Structure 1
Amino acid sequence: MSQPTPGSVTEKTFSAYTPEQSEKYASARHDYHSSLYETVLKYHSATGGELGVLLDVGCGPGNVTRALGSRFTEAIGLDPSCGMLETARSLGGTTSTSLPIRYELGSAEQLGENLERPIEEGSVDLITAANAAHWFDMPAFWTAAARVLKPGGTVALWTSGNVTSHPSVPNAEAIKAAFDKHHEDHLVAYYEPGNFLTRNRYATLPLPWTIATPIPDFDKTTFFRKDWELGETFYTGEQEIGMDMLEKMMSSSSPQVRWHQAHPDLVGTDKDIVRILRREIERLLHEAGVEKGKERVMGTVQGSLLMVKHRM
């Protein structure tokens, strides 16, 4: 299947979420491990970044905004989905100075330029985007990021790959093959351009110096990348989970959501592709000697973090 140009299709799945869908999404998605947050903060601080203003773009229900916002004087979560923002606001969060986190409706391409309280030029210390940059129009994002960042400010973008089975799970190789087959047979047809970027863990994500009109405000020599491989902890929830939670987590991915939207009569039935995957994993666990009723897997993902600095 050909891979469309990133940014050629606007993300319409999560941005259209209702508050009820957003709550389900939040309950199915684990937070990122503290080691990821510490990597971001360590690089940011070691390269002259300050802890003034955090701007979390595509914040969704606000996990990252709350986790990192507690270390900053001011924190703003930006998302194009009213439903996601309602969930984020209900969960709240405060900054290092006990200010409430702001959650605002906005896009990665404008970065708060049109808000009632606009994000001022040169006011932001750290911009983050967790599992979201693959939906951005990257040239427009980099232009906006250059505008709002302070000199010496940082952009941190990260993504996770596909969910698979930890090597310690009984029959792990066969279960990994089942996950891979599920993606290839059922989900790739429901991919949008951004999903291909997550599969290669942002190897081809457009950067300020690779876009058609490079943005000179960013220093290529400061580029930093860190990869988490299978078995390394990227999410806090990389632990044993039951089949109900597995099904819930798998159902929250955007290609799976689009499959469900295309097959509403099959959702939750024996012909639901997530249910089919679940049954296959259960079979493989039983084959390895796991008793019925005790089926559990340890999910794991690969992840990648990309960071770059605004010139001083």
Structure 2
Amino acid sequence: MASYLAGSEVTFRGYTDDQGDVYARARPGYRQDLYKIITDYHTSTGGILGTLLDIGCGAGTATRELGSYFQEAVGLDPSAGMIAAAKSIGGRSLSSPIRFDVSTDSELGSNLSPPVSDGSIDLVAAATAAQYFDMAAFWAAAARVLKPGGTVALWRGSFLHIHPSTPNHQRVQAALNELIDEIQRYKNDSSNNGGETFEALPLPWTMKDPVAGFDQESFSRKVWNEDGKVPSDEEFFLNHQILDLNGMEEYLATVSSTARWRQANPEAAGTERDVVKVFTRKVEDILQEAVVEEGEERITAGMSGVLLMVKKSN
């Protein structure tokens, strides 16, 4: 999962190994159904499950999950701290240990020794990271490293939405919206590249200077639980989790806008006036008003999600 890319999102550039470990613990993975959709699309359109390249891999969660379908897998991220965390956790593809290295969306491993070779990759994936990409540079790099008939799969989740099964869920959602409004004042302008459902994400053929080599006819875009809508008896498709108060705090601490809020408000960061602490205390009160016992406060939450898939021409 992504941390930041190519200098547009620098919040995590200085992450230490320990911070990378915290990020890995707090950030959940994705459902296997997502990876099945990706691999089915890839193979049904002529791709093979040879080598995966996950760019913006963060601590390597999606690299490990999707890499289990491939003979080989490479996870790349510009953050040395994230890559250190990914290496400490490790992981294997079908035939070998996953390679984790420091590289950007415009390089896709060309800076490494040995480099990621041109025409060597079957599928390029990015979980959340494309919102930070220099898309012109990325598409050019993807065209270079992909084999003919290879696939690019880009997906992202929204900020958390509260599931209707959570007691007093509408009030919890309102408290979460207040938190989002506050921390979004500190967001990087590049962090919503393409919109929450990638409706405006530049594609190879929509660039001012189009990038040749991709097949527009086979383009696929899927959206799930748009605007957080989910029936009370169903789960969020992309990611569905139950969080206690500590889990909420850990997750929210990994959001880049939270980190920037704390950088801008050092006197409040980590105290009872911290923006995340204020939110969790509100949630605690709201849940206890719904007769949830002290110490048993939990929220069920998930994300709306979008997946774009693009084929390199044969």
Residue 197 of structure 1 deviates from its aligned partner by 3.5
Deviations 1:136-176 (A, max 9, x none): 10000000100111111000001110112101111111211
1:148 is matched with: 145
Task: Give the Cα–Cα distance (whole angstroms) in 1 for the partners of residues 160 and 191 of structure 2.
Answer: 13
Task: Give the Cα–Cα distance (whole angstroms) in 2 for the partners of residues 214 and 100 of structure 1.
Answer: 36
On the 8 A contact 1:33/1:233 being kept in 2, the answer is: no
1:118 to 115, 120, 123: 115
Task: Give the Cα–Cα distance (whole angstroms) in 1 for the partners of residues 258 and 175 of structure 2.
Answer: 16
Residue 130 of structure 1 deviates from its aligned partner by 0.4
Residue 36 of structure 1 deviates from its aligned partner by 1.0
2:51 to 50, 53, 58: 53
What CA RMSD, in Å, does the superposition of the two structures yield over aligned residues? 1.7
Q: The residue matched to 1:293 in structure 2 has which SS?
A: coil
Deviations 1:158-203 (A, max 9, x none): 111011210111111121111112111x112111123324752211
Task: Give the Cα–Cα distance (whole angstroms) in 2 for the partners of residues 243 and 86 of structure 1.
Answer: 28
Task: Give the Cα–Cα distance (whole angstroms) in 2 for the partners of residues 100 and 200 of structure 1.
Answer: 33
Q: The residue matched to 1:77 in structure 2 has which SS?
A: strand
Once the two structures are superposed, the pairs formed by residues 7-156 of structure 1 within 5 Å of their partners are 10-97=8-95, 99-156=96-153
Residue 27 of structure 1 deviates from its aligned partner by 0.8
Task: Give the Cα–Cα distance (whole angstroms) in 1 for the partners of residues 301 and 148 of structure 2.
Answer: 40
Deviations 1:270-293 (A, max 9, x none): 100101111111222123232322
1:4 is matched with: none
2:198 to 182, 198, 202: 202
Task: Give the Cα–Cα distance (whole angstroms) in 1 for the partners of residues 73 and 13 of structure 2.
Answer: 21
Task: Give the Cα–Cα distance (whole angstroms) in 1 for the partners of residues 6 and 14 of structure 2.
Answer: 18
Q: Which runs of 5+ in 1 are unaligned?
A: 1-6
Task: Give the Cα–Cα distance (whole angstroms) in 1 for the partners of residues 199 and 106 of structure 2.
Answer: 21
Q: The residue matched to 1:205 in structure 2 has which SS?
A: coil
Residue 221 of structure 1 deviates from its aligned partner by 1.3
2:284 is matched with: 282
| The 10-residue stretch of structure 1 (70-79 or 192-201) with the greater mean CA deviation from structure 2 | 192-201
Q: Name the amino acid aligned to 2:123.
A: L
- TM-score when scaled to structure 1? 0.92
Q: The residue matched to 1:265 in structure 2 has which SS?
A: coil
On the 8 A contact 1:8/1:193 being kept in 2, the answer is: no
Task: Give the Cα–Cα distance (whole angstroms) in 2 for the partners of residues 289 and 135 of structure 1.
Answer: 42
Q: Name the amino acid aligned to 1:58.
A: G
On the 8 A contact 1:31/1:235 being kept in 2, the answer is: no
Task: Give the Cα–Cα distance (whole angstroms) in 2 for the partners of residues 234 and 195 of structure 1.
Answer: 23
Q: The residue matched to 1:151 in structure 2 has which SS?
A: strand
Q: Name the amino acid aligned to 1:214.
A: P
Seq. identity, %:
44
Q: Name the amino acid aligned to 1:228.
A: W
On the 8 A contact 1:197/1:203 being kept in 2, the answer is: no
Q: Name the amino acid aligned to 2:112.
A: L
2:161 to 139, 164, 177: 164
Q: Name the amino acid aligned to 1:289.
A: V
Task: Give the Cα–Cα distance (whole angstroms) in 2 for the partners of residues 91 and 240 of structure 1.
Answer: 23
On the 8 A contact 1:53/1:124 being kept in 2, the answer is: yes
- TM-score when scaled to structure 2? 0.92
On the 8 A contact 1:9/1:193 being kept in 2, the answer is: no
Q: The residue matched to 2:150 in structure 1 has which SS?
A: strand
1:221 is matched with: 217
Q: The residue matched to 1:50 in structure 2 has which SS?
A: coil
1:303 is matched with: 305
Task: Give the Cα–Cα distance (whole angstroms) in 2 for the partners of residues 55 and 289 of structure 1.
Answer: 48
**Change beyond 3 A, Cα 1:95–1:219:** same
Task: Give the Cα–Cα distance (whole angstroms) in 2 for the partners of residues 90 and 176 of structure 1.
Answer: 36
1:3 is matched with: none
For these two proteins, the number of residue pairs brought into alignment is 303
Q: Name the amino acid aligned to 1:299.
A: A
